[in-house]
Amino acid sequence: MLLAFEMAERQRAETGTQNRLTFVIVGGGVMGVELVGSLLEIGRKAMGPDYPHLSTAPTISLHR
């Protein structure tokens, strides 16, 4: 996840454009749902302040 944020920030700095960060979780059981919640919290609360130029929180898709 850290590498994805780093790459997105580098792309934004070099080109001035920004793509959305998207993570895909395969496994829609209880653990998959917990993982999605944890990743969203990390993306918004922990990574967000360190990457203020990335305007949106990551998109996380859960598949069964």
Tokens describing residue 63: 């598949």
Question: What is the reported pLDDT for 55?
Answer: 66
pLDDT computed for residue 34 by the predictor: 92
Mean pLDDT by 10 residues, the chain (64 residues): 86 82 86 89 82 76 88
Q: What pLDDT is attached to residue 17?
A: 81
- The owner of tokens 């990574």 is 47
pTM above 0.75, yes or no: no
What pLDDT does residue 27 have? 82
Specify the pLDDT at position 4. Answer: 86
DSSP per-residue codes, 23-40? EEEE--SHHHHHHHHHHH
